[in-house]
Amino acid sequence: MAITNQNRDHLTNPSNPYYLNTNENPAMVLVPSLLTKKNYHEWVRSMQMSLRSKSKLQSVDESLPSPPIGDPMYEKWHRCNQMVVSWLRSVMKISIAKYVLWMDLAVDVWNDVRNRFSQRVNFQIATLQEEIYGLKKGDMAVLKYFTSLKTSWEELEMFEPLPQ
């Protein structure tokens, strides 16, 4: 009986990493913006929140390895993996998606995109820090100066990692 319950848990338990709601489909758009060469940080942050809300972040962070072929859980894992791959591709510009088209594992797609675009993040952080350091009130109104400074601080805060 326990095996039957375990095998069916993915059908009814939303916290099960293999669970897929009947409304979820491969064309589903999880985030409002397509991944471009310039918005990786915002995109990855949005995707992490969306995938976490669906208990699918494990599909891309390497904490949910594939069961061996022949294992009763393999088909469930494979189905879930393919759905996540589809979701990832559906929120990428075509010029980026074509590079991951032949990848079958969600973790490979995720890592490829990270390797391509995450280096830009360090440059963006350095640029923001430089802007904050160089911001002078000069003849700006106090409110405008404070707003500029606060906007830059908040933008810099966005680069903090999401809580686990």
pLDDT in tens, 50-99: 999 999 999 999 899 999 999 999 999 999 999 999 999 999 999 999 99
Q: Computed over its alpha carbons, how large is the radius of gyration of the chain?
A: 20
Residue 119: pLDDT band (50, 70, 90) is confident
Q: Which domain holds residue 115?
A: 9-119
**CA torsion angle for 105, 80, 36, 31 (degrees, to 10)?**
-170
Q: For residue 78, is it within any domain?
A: yes
Q: For residue 86, is it within any domain?
A: yes
Q: For residue 49, is it within any domain?
A: yes
State the total domains in the chain.
1
Q: For residue 124, is it within any domain?
A: no
Q: Which two tokens stand for residue 94?
A: 């075509």
Q: For residue 44, is it within any domain?
A: yes
Residue 112: pLDDT band (50, 70, 90) is very high
pLDDT digits (tens, 9 = 90+) for 29-40: 899 899 998 888
Q: For residue 13, is it within any domain?
A: yes
pTM exceeds 0.75, yes or no: no
Q: For residue 143, is it within any domain?
A: no
